[in-house]
Amino acid sequence: MMIPFICILGAAAFGQCLTGFGFGIFAIALLPMIMPFKKAVAILALLSVAVNFQLGIRVAKHVRWKLLMPVVLCSFLAQTAGTKVLFSVNEKVLSKALGAVLIGLAIFFAFFRERISIKGSAKNGIIAGLIGGFLNTFNVGGPPIVLYYLKACKDNTEYLATVQATFLITSFYNFVLHLLWGNVTAEVWKYSAIGLIVVVPVIFLGFRVFKKISRKMLNWFVYGMIGVMGVVQLVG
């Protein structure tokens, strides 16, 4: 069980470096194969804080706080509601539904992105925050938020900085919710500690690769990640 756990987290952390998100999506699609779903969600809630901090601290000065605030505030509201759903709805039903949503988003933005224009506004931030916040309860909240930031941010560094700052704040809040619901056990702390040993060096190496990626390539990495993770969720 430990070797698959390490491999899944390593691959998820590297994917996060390339796209600015995906750590939770990739990991939650595979970890339930080797451990209970709710335990996996709690572990990822804690590890996501560490992952987003390690990436975000490198580009913190480029964060667009005005763009971020509506997203974060609305995400808090949606995550609170989503946590209640997590502990009351059948896990298989949630997984299939989330997979279908991710595939739909990937197809829409990959083939119709040039026909739409998403501006950095409070209204669009509220929409992205509500949808992303609810999905973040299940560690798949990235797509709506990153797709919004991809359009609203002017370059890769500003995009990565704003994404990581957003996910750092919302991931911490998500972890607090798990604490309040009593879903953080001694075993969760144990696996989280092991996970930190894995993801820290992977992110260090992955960030070097990110700096060499073009804007066009970044877009396709993001759309591809969303689509692949949607398929994994749907057939898992």
Name the residue range of residue 166's domain. 2-235
pLDDT at 117 exceeding the cut of 80 = no
Cα-trace Rg, the chain: 16
pLDDT at 189 exceeding the cut of 90 = yes
Q: Rounded mean pLDDT of 194-211?
A: 78
Number of folded domains that form the chain:
1
Angle between helices 37-56 and 2-19 (to 10 degrees): 40
Residues 28-74 have pLDDT tens digits of 777 888 888 888 888 988 888 887 787 777 778 889 999 999 999 99
DSSP string of 65-82, one letter each residue: HHHHHHHHHHHHHHHHHH
For tokens 């390539």, name the residue: 217
Residue type, 201: P
Residues 119-168 have pLDDT tens digits of 777 888 899 899 888 877 776 667 788 878 888 888 878 888 898 899 88
- Predicted confidence at residue 223, as pLDDT, reads 67
